[in-house]
Amino acid sequence: MSQALTRYHALFESLRSRRVKPKVPSGVDMAFGRVLMRAKNRRINIAWLRDQAQKIDLLSPEFRNCSDGVLDEHITRAREVFVRGRADEEAVRRALALTRETARRITGEEPYLVQLMGALALYHGRIIEMLTGEGKTLTGSIAAPLLAWRYRRLHILTVNDYLAARDAQSRGQLYRRCLCDVGAIVQETEEHERFEIYARPIVYGTPKQITADWLRDQIRMGPVNTPWTGRQSLMTAGRSGGPMIPGLHAAMVDECDAVLIDEGVVPLIIARSRREHDMANIYRDAARIAAKLDEGPDYSIEHVYRRSELKRRGQHRARQMFDELPDSIWRATRRAEELVRQALVARHCYVNGRQYQVVDGKVMIVDEYTGRFLADRSWEHGLHQAVEAKEGLDVTADRETLARMSFQRFFRSYPFLSGMTGTAADATGEMESVYSRPVIVVPTNRPVIREQWPMRVFRTQEAKWRAIADSVAELHAKGRPVLVGTRSVAASELISRLLESIGLPHRVLNANFDKDEAELIAAAGYGREHGREASITVATNMAGRGTDIKPDDAAKKAGGLHVILTELHGAKRIDRQFIGRSGRQGDPGSAQIFVSLEDELVRLHTPRLARLVSRRVAATGDELPSASHAWLFRLAQSRSEKRDRINRASVLRQDDWMDKYLPGH
Amino acid sequence: MTAERPTFSPFWHRVRAMTPRLRPQVQITRQHYRGMRWHVAHDPTTNQFFRLSPIANEFVGLLDGTRTVEQTWELVLSRYGDHAPTQNEIISLLSQLYNSNLLRVDHSPETEQLLGRGKERTKKKVQQQAIGLMYFRVKIFNPDRALAWLEPILRPILNPVGLIAWFILLIAALATVLPHWNELVNGFGSAVAPSNWGWIMAVFVVTKVIHETGHGVICRRFGGQVPEMGVMMLVLLPSPYVDASACWAFESKYRRMAVGAGGMIFELFVASLAAFLWTATRDTGGLAHQLAYNAMLTSGVSTVLFNANPLMRFDGYYILSDLLEVPNLMMRSTMMLNHLAQRSIYRVKNATPPSSVPGEQAILIVYGIGALIYRLFLFVSITLYIMGKLFAIGLILAVWTAAMWFILPVGKFVHWIATSPQLAEFRPRAIATSLALLIAGALIIGAIPMPDHRTAGGVVESDQTTGLFFGADGFVAKVHARPGDFVKQGEPIITCESPELAAQLKLADAMLAEARSTEQQAVAKNETANAQVARGRVEAIEAQITQARQRAERLVVRAPFDGVVVGADPANFVGSYMKEGKPICEFVNPARLRVAASLTQAEASWLFELPRDQFSVEMRTLSQIDRFIDGANVRIVDAGQRQLRHEALAYSGGGTIETEQQTDQRSAPQAKQHLWWVYVDAKDAAQFVAGSAPGERVRLRFTLPSKPWLSQWIDRLQKAIQGRVTI
């Protein structure tokens, strides 16, 4: 299919979608808006979906036996209806029955009723919650052609490049059969290829890639916001041939709670180095001054907000040290103190192995949500340089931001948005208020038989780690595969050393060792069989999303995969995701959470309570009764969730303010 | 503690490459505030203003349409170092300028955004008007041409000499009026009488138009444009206004103050002329006299209460603001109080005070507290007044204003407490503090007994009072007592003469003599029957005579008891022929004065619930408002009707009781509600006699047992609503 686009056409499309910016309601408006949205959307509920899915199921025999040629003809006709915007319920049912049949013929998997329900909900712009292992990929792929027909272009956002490329590849045949060309945008895709791929009806990609391309369009096209200015910019500087992304039409987001919520406010930044003046010495000096100051008398650190404050004595001491330095920047006291405060934050709030990792003399940021390195990314406004100076590495040049965009803001620009995830229900409120997307929980095809073992609470971290190692050893002896989830690279390495010391063979999956990820995941589900030991896998959040660990028969017999969570995460959803690695598709499995009163979560969010509890139980031994202490951890978690929620709301407000009061964009 | 000012902003990239500049028509003038230099950017075409600090001004000045924001910032940074604005400050400066339409960003037409901003502004305007329902304004026309014509005519006197002349005139006017102070005060009653309302309104409009013209003319005199004149609703009272905001860009503060004072100068000029007219027509009275009084009243009252009062946003406010060199006084003083509360009550660390100059801070605090108290006072008195007159409208207004002035800020405050990131770390403590303050407030209002006073209007009257009437037809010959004269019992007050009666008596005497002789003759002749007849005649004539004598006696009207003549002056009757039974005047016993009041059921209900010994009452007569008379022996009489004890207690008479529309001028006014009559004696009768005359108006103040404010308020509100609902 040729998708020749004129420059004007592309530009116009691009502008049209740029202008779509739903208002962010607040206060009473927000509550009212949510009520209104619920009222408007109440038609599409589980019962209705089930009813529709059953009707679609009844249509199946009609297509089951027809020849490929006839099927193609049906598809062509169905597409016509959608392209013309005449798709009523009947047409949607027929089309879904068609894509279902096509999927069956091409991949051999026939979507279940629940998957039909999910696909239908996706078509109606819902965020669906489908438990992991229920075949979200298939669900999405039978809804995608319908959306591409109706909205002309559909972006399907996946978690990583690997999945994007894989899905575009594996689903390509299905889509092409449905008259939709497909392409994938990955890190390595060349720019001239991108122009061509974005023109296709279905585009796979990661949110980062697509948002970044969108930002690059913005930078290239300048402040284009009306058809008039657009025409002007095309006539004067249009040599580059218009925008790369021909407008935002529809998006389907996989793992949408991660993309839209957890990472929603992490801004994606396009920056370039400034080579104007070398600041390396200055950052090093700041780090040196910071090292000389004493916490307590000189400064205080607020870990929750990653903020530091110089006290009077600290100010005095710092100023004395400024006087000895030659650079002129130290004469400007306010700026100089700011540098020192930043150095203090870098020193205390950023820890090697948690927020970043030093690899080959470079500071690599570790994504808090996926546990992966964020290649080519750096913190803003000198923080990155401050961390480099602290680690004694080469200080890179300052970078200046050219454009920035948060996913939250970007995805609100899509006129049509739907998504799927294993854990959406916990984020219903935000999905509804920020994105105006209702959430629907699709029932599972087979019941989940995973056992949730009670949380174990310890007084100290040390006791916790020992207990985890013991628990791993015990389960290993039973021949069950075990997955140990940690929050940071450092923690994964700690437990790895511990397991080594008691002689348990295991493999580690974290940002440092991600080369053989696929192989490692494949092996993670092995039970004990023919002289092969059951696998023990220690992983950061890298294994938390989108990974499919399949227990083999031996493992299933032994009781399935056991997941140990060594710490509670900042949000309940992330815990649920990780635990969801076991007990997939009706497989047996179990999970257990280990926490201690010294964990970062309680230290940051309920410091006083944690200390109080710790003092009260000092005499009772290392392990505390779970039933009477779990509340503390849940409280800390809900506080952490609340803090993040407030943070996201304030970013949204700021973005809005900028849009409203600043010229351009 | 200095507030944190991070140098960098994450949003810098959105402005850094822009090449904005001020729109070409924007003018910048220099002003000084408390020794600091400021620059005011003014766009005369849109009448938008923006105040810039010297550094901001330099920054804006460096923006020439070719330099980018970033280059300019770096220039400023290299010049000023720590004092240079941060990126955040630059962004907010640019956005404010841009949204005031003072900044041109690039050459491309940004119709959509311009429209968007226009809409935004209109929406804001509408919102502001909705909030200030009490201060609604409608533009009518552009007075600039009229002022351009008027100003050159007046120019010769618009100078310091003119001002001095004006001042002398004002003093002279005061000097002529003040000797007649009592007359002035007495005139108030007739001025507020319904018959005068139309005239008052007309005079008000005229004086206010002159007032506004004054602003406009002086603004033009110093080169400002006056683009707008219209009508503003001022607490339900339509009043004209002009937009003389062009003067904000004047460099000299004295010129700005002159424009602010111009209105009052012109208005008081008119009032002075009116004062001369009023004095001149004092003896003749008539419409001119009344109109002159109206003019003095409206200008005097409005000047003192509103225009010159710096606590409301009228002329006085702007004059004071310029005089003190504290711009935005009202807003910033509110901010200052907020800041103080944040810092001292909630211990917010990073709060930035709206001013860092100590002198200015003190002004802001003092002004802020004053304005707050005044606003409360004004709110309460205005709504109570309107509620008294028009209950429903008053209630709506009160609820509306309460919502805008109190509930909205309280809501904002709660929202601030609950969500403010400033409080993040010590929110529990902030909540605890607020709760403690709230509880303390609630205790003061709800638990601590406070004096409870109720007031009522009354009239002095005598226990022993009677009307005097003519006892017989006759010409009034002599008047012995005038109103206010004390007359002993039995002494004459008025003497009438009746020639008719005198003639009658004479005739009767003659007839009696004749009849008697007839009788004697008959007796002498021993004609028994004739004697009998003559006897009867004598008797009849004798009776006639006695009757006539009595009538003759009644020609002299005498005091029935020791008392005072009040009411109509008997001297008016001298020489005229009066029929018997015609009223002359009232006669009262001043030794037995009491106060009579009429109270509606709602007002008086507590009187029944409370034992007599639990409350006390004080009275003050209007003539001696500072002298309290202790009341005693309170008696309540169920009037069983709606008749007022005295006309002076009705609205139309200046009292507090609502009366029915009167169809018949002569009939007594009927209250809208059932009334109780309450009589109060003076504890020491001498106190009354010392100065009060019957018929005088009295304020009664009942002191009830102390009760917490809350229950007092609930009580009153209940009464107020009860009274209305049971109609």
Do B97 and B142 sit in the same domain of this protein?
no
Paired strand residues for A267: A406
pLDDT reading at A646 higher than 70: yes
B112 vs A225, A302, A381: nearest CB: A225
**Using one digit for the tens of pLDDT, what is the confidence trace for B452-485?**
887 787 888 777 778 888 888 888 888 888 877 7
CA distances from B248 to A381, B41, B219, B245, B505 (A): 40, 10, 10, 6, 93
Hey, what domains does chain A have and what are their CATH numbers? 7-270+407-441 (3.40.50.300), 275-397 (3.90.1440.10), 451-637 (3.40.50.300)
Alpha carbon B21 to its chain centroid, in Å, reads 50
Q: What are the strands, taking DSSP E only, across B603-663?
A: 616-621, 629-638
Judging contacts by C-beta atoms under 8 Å, the chain A residues touching residue B108 are 223, 228-229, 232
Close Cβ partners of A451 (under 8 Å, ≥ 6 residues apart): A589, A590, A591
DSSP state of B223: T
Asked whether the beta carbons of B560 and B509 are under 8 A apart, the reply is no
Do B670 and B690 sit in the same domain of this protein?
yes
Judging contacts by C-beta atoms under 8 Å, the chain A residues touching residue B419 are 646
Interface touch A658/B111, C-beta < 8 Å: no
Separation of alpha carbons B580 and A563, rounded Å: 120
Paired strand residues for B465: B588
**Using one digit for the tens of pLDDT, what is the confidence trace for B504-555?**
889 988 988 888 888 888 888 888 888 888 888 888 988 988 988 888 888 8
Close Cβ partners of A591 (under 8 Å, ≥ 6 residues apart): A450, A451, A452, A453, A562, A563, A564, A565, A579, A582, A583
Do B314 and B223 sit in the same domain of this protein?
yes
> Does residue B528 lie in a domain region?
yes
* B74–A contact, CB cutoff 8 A: no
Nearest CA of chain A to the CA of B345: how many Å? 22
Interface touch A662/B111, C-beta < 8 Å: no
Instruction: Rounding to the nearest 10 degrees, give the CA dihedral for residues A222, A227, A233, A238.
Output: 100
> Considering only CA atoms, which of A546, A469, A539 is closest in space to residue A508?
A539
Range of the domain at B102: 12-124
By C-alpha distance, the chain B residue nearest A311 is B1
Interface touch B7/A225, C-beta < 8 Å: no
pLDDT band at A350 (very low <50, low <70, confident <90, very high): confident
A226 vs B13, B15, B112: nearest CB: B112
Judging contacts by C-beta atoms under 8 Å, the chain B residues touching residue A382 are 8
Mean pLDDT, rounded, of chain B = 79
Model confidence pTM above 0.80: no
Judging contacts by C-beta atoms under 8 Å, the chain A residues touching residue B8 are 380-382
CA distances from B246 to A393, A570, B33, B257 (A): 60, 56, 18, 13
pLDDT reading at B174 higher than 60: yes
Do B530 and B608 sit in the same domain of this protein?
no
- DSSP element (H, E) containing A313: helix A312-323
- Note the pLDDT of residue A123: 92
- Note the pLDDT of residue A236: 54
Query: For chain A, how many helices (H) and strands (E)?
Result: 26, 22
Minimum mean pLDDT among A383-387, B215-219, B723-727: which range? Answer: B723-727
A661 vs B16, B82, B99: nearest CB: B99
* B112–A contact, CB cutoff 8 A: yes
Separation of alpha carbons A576 and A583, rounded Å: 12
Q: Give the mean pLDDT of B113-134.
A: 60
A and B: number of Cβ contacts within 8 A: 78
Residues 118 to 137 of B: which have CB under 8 A from any A CB? 120
Place of tokens 């003050």: B620
* B91–A contact, CB cutoff 8 A: yes
**Which sign does the torsion angle of CA B416, B418, B424, B426 carry?**
positive
- DSSP element (H, E) containing A373: strand A373-374
Do B671 and B579 sit in the same domain of this protein?
no
Domain boundary among B72, B107, B124: B124
Judging contacts by C-beta atoms under 8 Å, the chain A residues touching residue B110 are 225-226, 229, 663
Mean pLDDT, rounded, of chain A = 81
**Using one digit for the tens of pLDDT, what is the confidence trace for B274-299?**
999 988 888 877 888 888 888 888 88
Separation of alpha carbons B532 and B93, rounded Å: 126
Per the model's pLDDT, the better-predicted residue between B401 and B551 turns out to be B551
Q: Give the mean pLDDT of A582-607.
A: 84
- Note the pLDDT of residue A16: 58
Per the structure block, which two tokens stand in for B506?
């004479």
Per the model's pLDDT, the better-predicted residue between A180 and A1 turns out to be A180
> Does residue B270 lie in a domain region?
yes
Nearest CA of chain A to the CA of B408: how many Å? 13
Domain boundary among B124, B144, B178: B124
- Note the pLDDT of residue A238: 42
**Using one digit for the tens of pLDDT, what is the confidence trace for A183-193?**
999 888 888 88
pLDDT band at B167 (very low <50, low <70, confident <90, very high): very high
pLDDT reading at B165 higher than 90: yes
Interface touch A662/B82, C-beta < 8 Å: no
Interface touch B424/A305, C-beta < 8 Å: yes
Do B567 and B504 sit in the same domain of this protein?
yes
Nearest CA of chain A to the CA of B94: how many Å? 8
Separation of alpha carbons A73 and A77, rounded Å: 6
Interface touch A663/B110, C-beta < 8 Å: yes
- DSSP element (H, E) containing A183: strand A182-185
Interface touch B111/A403, C-beta < 8 Å: no
Q: Which amino acid is at A300?
A: S
Do B596 and B564 sit in the same domain of this protein?
no
Paired strand residues for B32: B37
- Note the pLDDT of residue B647: 65
- Note the pLDDT of residue B594: 79
Separation of alpha carbons A443 and A113, rounded Å: 10
Residues of A with CB under 8 A from a CB of B: 27, 223, 225-226, 228-229, 232, 267, 302, 305, 331-335, 338, 380-382, 400-404, 646, 650, 654, 658, 660-665
Paired strand residues for B618: B630, B701
Q: Give the mean pLDDT of A358-377.
A: 76
Separation of alpha carbons A254 and A411, rounded Å: 13
Judging contacts by C-beta atoms under 8 Å, the chain A residues touching residue B20 are 663
Percent of residues, chain B, with pLDDT higher than 70: 84
Separation of alpha carbons A489 and B52, rounded Å: 51
Do B559 and B680 sit in the same domain of this protein?
no
Interface touch A654/B15, C-beta < 8 Å: no
A658 vs B14, B106, B425: nearest CB: B14
- Note the pLDDT of residue B190: 73
Q: Which amino acid is at A444?
A: T
Q: Phi/psi class of residue A156: alpha, beta or left (left: φ > 0; alpha: ψ in -120 to 50)?
A: beta
> Considering only CA atoms, which of B722, B677, B707, B676 is closest in space to residue B614?
B707
Minimum mean pLDDT among A178-182, A429-433, A477-481, B58-62: which range? Answer: A429-433
Judging contacts by C-beta atoms under 8 Å, the chain A residues touching residue B426 are none
Close Cβ partners of A72 (under 8 Å, ≥ 6 residues apart): A177
* B110–A contact, CB cutoff 8 A: yes
Interface touch B99/A658, C-beta < 8 Å: no
> Considering only CA atoms, which of A67, A112, A113, A119 is closest in space to residue A95?
A119
pLDDT reading at B168 higher than 90: yes
Interface touch B108/A267, C-beta < 8 Å: no
Close Cβ partners of B206 (under 8 Å, ≥ 6 residues apart): B295
Beta-strand pair A482-485/A561-565? parallel
Q: Give the mean pLDDT of B195-200.
A: 83
pLDDT band at A428 (very low <50, low <70, confident <90, very high): confident
**Cα Rg for chain A, rounded, in angstroms?**
27
Do B161 and B289 sit in the same domain of this protein?
yes
* B23–A contact, CB cutoff 8 A: no
B18 vs A332, A661, A664: nearest CB: A664
By C-alpha distance, the chain A residue nearest B419 is A646
Interface touch B98/A333, C-beta < 8 Å: no
pLDDT reading at B124 higher than 70: no
Q: Give the mean pLDDT of B659-670.
A: 58
pLDDT reading at A271 higher than 50: yes
Mutate to test the interface with A, among B110, B348, B423 (most CBs of A within 10 A): B110
Minimum mean pLDDT among A520-534, B98-112, B330-344, B354-368: which range? Answer: B98-112
Interface touch B10/A381, C-beta < 8 Å: yes
Interface touch B13/A381, C-beta < 8 Å: no
pLDDT reading at A529 higher than 70: yes
Q: Give the mean pLDDT of B664-685.
A: 69
> Does residue B441 lie in a domain region?
no
Interface touch B14/A664, C-beta < 8 Å: yes
- DSSP element (H, E) containing B466: strand B465-469
- Note the pLDDT of residue A510: 78
> Does residue B439 lie in a domain region?
no
Interface touch B82/A664, C-beta < 8 Å: no
Separation of alpha carbons B677 and B636, rounded Å: 6
Beta-strand pair A202-205/A154-157? parallel
Judging contacts by C-beta atoms under 8 Å, the chain A residues touching residue B411 are none
* B81–A contact, CB cutoff 8 A: yes
pLDDT band at A502 (very low <50, low <70, confident <90, very high): confident
> Does residue B458 lie in a domain region?
no
pLDDT band at A64 (very low <50, low <70, confident <90, very high): confident
Interface touch B94/A662, C-beta < 8 Å: yes
Asked whether the beta carbons of A135 and A122 are under 8 A apart, the reply is no
Separation of alpha carbons B89 and B3, rounded Å: 13
> Does residue B395 lie in a domain region?
no
Q: Give the mean pLDDT of B227-236.
A: 77
CATH code assigned at B65: 3.90.930
pLDDT reading at B599 higher than 90: no
Number of domains observed in the structure of chain B: 4
| SS3 of chain B: helix, strand, coil, percent, to 5 | 55, 20, 25
Do B168 and B263 sit in the same domain of this protein?
yes
Do B90 and B23 sit in the same domain of this protein?
yes
**Using one digit for the tens of pLDDT, what is the confidence trace for A82-112?**
888 888 888 899 999 999 999 888 888 888 8
By C-alpha distance, the chain B residue nearest A659 is B14
Do B630 and B537 sit in the same domain of this protein?
no
Interface touch A381/B14, C-beta < 8 Å: no
> Does residue B317 lie in a domain region?
yes
pLDDT reading at A240 higher than 60: no
pLDDT band at A5 (very low <50, low <70, confident <90, very high): very low
Domain boundary among B542, B571, B587: B587
> Does residue B502 lie in a domain region?
yes
| SS3 of chain A: helix, strand, coil, percent, to 5 | 50, 15, 35
DSSP string, B105-122: --SS--HHHHHHHHHHHH
Question: Using H for helix, E for strand and C for coil, what is the string for B203-220?
Answer: HHHHHHHHHHHHHHHHHH
Interface touch B98/A660, C-beta < 8 Å: no
Q: Which amino acid is at A90?
A: E
Paired strand residues for B41: B28, B50
